[in-house]
C-alpha cells in the first residue's frame, strides 16, 4: 500500500517545499516599495478616477447575474446540437420548448428594464 502512494506523497512534499522556498525567498530577497503608483489600484491600464470605496451600482450585478444565467442555459444547446440527428422530431420539439421558455424569460427581463443602463 505504501509503495502505491509513495510517489504521490513525495510529489506533494516536494511541491510544498518548493512553494514555501519561493515564498520565503521573495519575502527576504524581494524589493519592497509602498510609495507612488505601486499603492494605487490598477484598472486595465486606465488612470484611476475617484476613490476605490465608491459603491458599485446594483444594476451592474443584475446584468452580470443575468449574463451568467442565460450563458449557462445556452450551453445546453451544444449537446443537443451534437446529437440532434439521433433524437429526431421529439428532440427538436423538446429543444423548441426549451428555447421558447428561455425567450419568455429574456423578454420578461427586457420588459422589466433589467438590461437598461441609465
Give per-residue pLDDT as tens, 5-59: 899 999 999 999 999 999 999 888 887 776 766 666 666 666 666 666 777 777 8
Rg (CA), the chain: 26
- Nearest to residue 111, comparing CAs of 65, 103, 96, 69? 103
Question: pLDDT tens, 2-13?
Answer: 788 899 999 999
How many CA atoms are closer than 13 Å to the CA of 105, on its beta-carbon side? 12
pLDDT at 59: 80
Contact 103, 74 (CB under 8 A): no
Q: What domains can you pick out in the chain, each with its CATH number?
A: 2-112 (1.20.58)
Higher pLDDT among residues 30 and 83, named by residue? 83
pTM value surpassing 0.75: no
Amino acid at each position: 500500500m505504501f509503495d502505491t502512494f509513495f510517489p504521490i506523497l513525495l510529489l506533494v512534499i516536494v511541491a510544498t517545499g518548493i512553494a514555501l522556498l519561493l515564498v520565503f525567498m521573495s519575502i527576504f530577497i524581494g524589493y519592497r516599495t509602498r510609495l507612488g503608483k505601486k499603492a494605487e489600484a490598477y484598472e486595465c491600464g486606465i488612470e484611476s478616477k475617484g476613490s476605490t470605496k465608491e459603491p458599485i451600482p446594483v444594476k451592474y450585478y443584475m446584468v452580470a447575474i443575468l449574463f451568467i444565467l442565460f450563458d449557462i442555459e445556452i450551453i445546453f444547446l451544444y449537446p443537443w446540437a451534437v446529437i440532434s440527428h439521433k433524437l429526431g422530431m421529439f428532440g427538436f420539439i423538446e429543444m423548441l420548448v426549451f428555447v421558447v421558455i428561455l425567450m419568455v424569460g429574456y423578454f420578461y427581463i427586457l420588459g422589466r428594464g433589467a438590461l437598461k443602463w441609465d
